[in-house]
Amino acid sequence: MAWDEWEQIKADVANPKSTGMQLNQFPADSGPAVSAVTGGLKSSKKAWLTAGEGVGSLRKGVSTALTRLEESQTGLGAETGCLSAAAQRDVYASWKRYIEDVSKRCGSLQGILRQVGHDQLKTDEAVKAELDMLQLKYADTDAIGGQAKGR
């Protein structure tokens, strides 16, 4: 770089009314461009990772609930001859399966949130597709007795 150019750069920096550098004829005062993907929404790695940690802490709570549910089953005794004991065992098996699925769902969601946090270039559509697949995989079943009609 020639000495004269260096002196010109220093003079431009010192002058606050300088026109500034323009690349590809893009005006210096137009402000930041808005991404078509984010629509101007700002995102941070920390926010995504914090959300993932929050979901992970839910998974820990669900695991604790499952342990307590298992502990409460001890001493129930034999099911033969006692219909309430058999019903209790069926309810326990159903809830155990449900709680395990909730834990897996939290783990999967935590993984998606971490992945988005580490890969800021992922599009909104790709994130939505991941969440939709998670929704399909862990879709809840309809309540017994069907849906309430107009009540």
CA distance 139 to 98: 11
Residue 110 and residue 59 in contact, taking contact as beta carbons nearer than 8 Å:
yes
Of 66, 144, 142, 143, nearest in space to 106 by CA: 66
pLDDT at 112 over 70: yes
Residues found in the chain: 151
Q: Torsions phi, psi of 111, nearest 5?
A: -65, -40
Q: Band the pLDDT of 107: cuts 50, 70, 90.
A: very high
Work out the average pLDDT over 83-112.
Answer: 86
Query: Cα–Cα distance between 116 and 111 in angstroms, integer?
Result: 9
The yes-or-no verdict on residue 17 having pLDDT over 70 is no
Residue 119: the pLDDT is 73
Instruction: Give the integer Cα–Cα distance in Å for 88 and 8.
Output: 85
The reported pLDDT for the residue numbered 128 is 84
Q: Is the pLDDT of residue 51 over 80?
A: yes
The percent of residues in the chain predicted with pLDDT above 90, rounded, is 6
Give the pLDDT score at 18: 54
pTM over 0.75: no
CB neighbour list of residue 73: distance below 8 Å, 6 or more residues apart: 88, 89, 92
Residue 22 has pLDDT above 70, yes or no: no
69 or 145: which carries more pLDDT confidence? 69
- Pinpoint the alpha helices (H) of 2-78: 3-14, 45-71
- The pLDDT assigned to 13 comes to 66
